Amino acid sequence: MTIRWYPGHMSKALEKMSEAIRKIDVVIEVLDARLPFSSSNHQLRDIRRNKPCIKLLNKHDLADPAVTKAWIRDFEKEEGVYALPISAKQHSETKQLIKLCQRLAPNRGRPGWPLRAMVFGIPNVGKSTLINTLAGRNMAKVGDKPAITTCNQQIDLRNGIILSDTPGVLWPDMADQDVAYRLATSGAIGASALDYTCVGLFAAEFMMRRYPQILGDRYKLDCMPETPTALLEAIGRRLGCLVSGGGIDVHRAAEAFLRELRAGKIGRVSLETPEDVVGITADEIKPDEEELPHTCDGE
Ligand code: G4P
């Protein structure tokens, strides 16, 4: 199954963001630490006007720590880019972000001369959660439905920083199907745009290859099943996803497996390493608006 999920209004939105960035001192790109390449929209590089950019590897509490370290080293090879692992739900961790913003714009952050920052990212990476934690109150709705934030306001963090509360909602580049499947595995794609069994099989194959130990521990597998389908069946049996007559409901098993994987119940898992994406250039995965149908979850 080919996953396609792309809004038609992207070019206009990018133009507006590019314009808004003129007045911004620091660009904060929120990424999902489990898939920092796939959850990035590489067009941000074209519109960020050489402004300092913080790549925030959010949800690092769910990601494999060793792989997150490798990503930080990889990102910081680019000039003007700084990478920070974070859990946006943790107030104490967001303080590091404030310090980094202040370091990147040392002449700002004084009365009458505020430091202006804007949060960018694809849906579901945790932009609203971050804004709420930084503001210390609920400014933006948090939810599992992509692109739920619609309000337009500025938030004075009362520390010399003004945050634009219109997160730049970028859209994932999904011309590469591995990218699309990793995004689907992470939960970044609305449920109506995907087939749980296909995504579950992709995730099962990945976990068998990369994280067999924690997979075996979680589902008490005596030996690793030979195929992704057999693995989903074993998981379905373990979780009681049965149909009448005692067979396994593979669709329900896939859904339950993905739910556990996304919630970190199997363990801390990263869905890609810098080596996995070598050779996939931003240009290759930039979607062609002419070719892709303008289907979007719309939520
Ligand atoms: P968005 O604005 O970029 O679209 O993302 P949003 O903040 O709505 O967050 C999407 C989901 O990711 C939410 O889960 C949120 O709680 C979760 N999340 C955000 N930051 C972190 C983090 O650092 N660690 C973990 N583990 N999860 C994070 P949800 O299930 O949709 O909502 P809720 O039930 O948590 O309220």
Judgement on whether residues 182 and 160 belong to the same structural domain of the protein = no
Judgement on whether residues 184 and 159 belong to the same structural domain of the protein = no
Judgement on whether residues 44 and 157 belong to the same structural domain of the protein = yes
Among 165, 193, 226, the domain-final residue is 165
Q: Identify the pLDDT of residue 151.
A: 47
State the residue range of the domain holding 194.
Answer: 177-284
Judgement on whether residues 68 and 29 belong to the same structural domain of the protein = yes
Centre a 10 Å sphere on the Cβ of residue 297 and count the other Cβ atoms it contains: 16
% of the chain exceeding 90 in pLDDT: 65
Residue 226 has pLDDT above 80, yes or no: yes
Judgement on whether residues 159 and 15 belong to the same structural domain of the protein = yes
Q: If you measure from the C-alpha of residue 186 to the centroid of ligand 1, how many angstroms do you get, rounded to a whole number? A: 11
Q: If you measure from the C-alpha of residue 270 to the centroid of ligand 1, how many angstroms do you get, rounded to a whole number? A: 17
Q: Identify the pLDDT of residue 11.
A: 72
Does the residue 170 lie in any domain? no
Of 153 and 144, more confident: 153
d(CA 26, CA 13): 19
Residue 160 has pLDDT above 50, yes or no: yes
> Mean pLDDT, to the nearest integer, of 231-240?
97
Of 234 and 167, more confident: 234
User: Into how many domains does the chain fold?
Assistant: 2
Q: What pLDDT band is residue 148 in, cutting at 50, 70 and 90?
A: very low
- Condensed to tens digits (0 to 9), the pLDDT of residues 116-145 reads 999 999 999 999 999 999 998 777 656 544
d(CA 282, CA 180): 14
* Residue 203: exposure state from Cβ atoms within 10 A (0-12, 13-18, ≥19): buried
Whether 289 and 11 have beta carbons less than 8 Å apart is answered as: yes
Judgement on whether residues 25 and 137 belong to the same structural domain of the protein = yes
Distant-in-sequence contacts of 195-200, Cβ < 8 A, 24+ apart:
195/1, 196/251, 196/254, 196/255, 196/258, 197/232, 197/250, 197/251, 197/254, 198/1, 199/254, 199/258, 200/232, 200/250, 200/253, 200/254, 200/255, 200/257, 200/258
Judgement on whether residues 212 and 140 belong to the same structural domain of the protein = no
- Condensed to tens digits (0 to 9), the pLDDT of residues 14-37 reads 888 888 899 999 999 999 999 999
User: Which conformational region is residue 154 in: left (phi greater than 0), alpha (psi within -120 to 50 degrees), or beta?
Assistant: beta
What secondary structure letter does DSSP report for 274? G
Does the residue 292 lie in any domain? no
Q: Identify the pLDDT of residue 189.
A: 86
What is the position in ligand 1's atom list of the atom closest to the CA of 122? 3
Judgement on whether residues 249 and 273 belong to the same structural domain of the protein = yes
Q: Is the shortest distance between the CB of 128 and ligand 1 below 6 Å?
A: yes
- Condensed to tens digits (0 to 9), the pLDDT of residues 87-100 reads 999 999 999 999 99
Whether 47 and 39 have beta carbons less than 8 Å apart is answered as: no
Q: Is the shortest distance between the CB of 139 and ligand 1 below 6 Å?
A: no
d(CA 151, CA 166): 7
> Mean pLDDT, to the nearest integer, of 69-78?
96
Among 114, 133, 165, the domain-final residue is 165
Pure H helices in 2-64: 10-21, 44-47
* Residue 139: exposure state from Cβ atoms within 10 A (0-12, 13-18, ≥19): middle
Q: Identify the pLDDT of residue 36.
A: 98
What does the mean pLDDT of the chain come to?
Answer: 86
What secondary structure letter does DSSP report for 73? H
Of 65 and 279, more confident: 65
